[in-house]
Amino acid sequence: MSTEPAFVIVTGMSGAGRSTAAKALEDLGWFVIDNLPPGLLFAMAEEAGKVKLAADKVAAVVDVRSLAFTTDLNAAIEELEGRGVRVRVVFLEASDEELVRRFENVRRPHPLQGEGRLVDGITRERGILREVRANADLVIDTSSHNVHDLRNKIVAYFGGEDRPGLRLNIVSFGFKYGLPVDADLVVDCRFLPNPHWVPDLRPMNGLDAPVRDYVLGQPGAKEFLDAYEEVLQVVAAGYAREGKSYATLAVGCTGGKHRSVAMAEQVAARLRDRGMEVQVSHRDVGRE
């Protein structure tokens, strides 16, 4: 295990769950400061002993307060890393439609909408955060998550920070419902025959043995799994060299019910056998 100091910054879209993530980290024993201006990140790290000591479990939640947010945050990260602090940025994301719904439910304006509409504030915030999102170490899309789902995901990612190596989140999905916006890698399983057209298999999903056996028994399925397992080992090693600790692999088929579910489970099982830490979720099962 590395003794290099680490510091987690939680940021992202307003309404995407920053407070929930902060509470989850606190429940895991982290020292968390909420709503910290980027310019005070180094002072907080120094106060927490992050510069001179190899203490862990310290995080700060930062949000957009001005157009200089991105510049201020980048400068703060550069200062921390220049002093030997390993910084990890977690970005919380959600769709415009879901953010609008959440703000309307709590009857609060978006912090950047000013005299405009709610969607204007969301659009403005996305523009400011574009670079931060692109450079984040971990992006979590909370569009389909409730507070319990998000908490579980934070626990899965940060509940074992003392374990080295890449932590991989594998999510199955249906292309007809859109790509997961937090995916680092995307796999398309539509090259395999669709169990939807087999009457006995149609009501089932990829977690059911008959569907799993049907999908894995198709020409090319095993060959693909063998080849992609090797590819992921190369990718994981590269991510490790670049200091990336978390990644999301999205495995898709047409509806996210049969092929993608079965293949996602198989990829996860193979990687676990290689000693990799993997969690699996099935975004679109039951959506029909």
Q: Is 143 annotated as a binding residue?
A: no
Q: Is 13 annotated as a binding residue?
A: yes
Q: How many CB atoms lie within 10 A of CB 74?
A: 14
Q: Is 88 annotated as a binding residue?
A: no
Tokens of 258: 């049969």
Helix axes 118-135, 96-106, angle to 10 degrees: 130
- Alpha-helical runs (H) found in the chain: 18-27, 41-47, 69-82, 96-106, 118-135, 147-158, 209-216, 221-241, 259-273
- CA gyration radius, the chain: 20
- Please identify which residue in the block is written with the tokens 């975004």: 283
- Please identify which residue in the block is written with the tokens 């099982």: 269
Q: Is 59 annotated as a binding residue?
A: no
Tokens of 60: 């700060």
Q: Is 127 annotated as a binding residue?
A: no
Q: Is 281 annotated as a binding residue?
A: no
Pairing of strands 86-93, 138-141: parallel
Distance CA 252, CA 260 (A): 5
Of 156, 189, 159, nearest to 172 (Cα)? 189
Q: Is 167 annotated as a binding residue?
A: no
The residues that bridge with 7 in the sheet, in sequence order, are 87
What are the binding residues for GTP?
63-66
What are the binding residues?
12-19, 63-66
What are the binding residues for ATP?
12-19
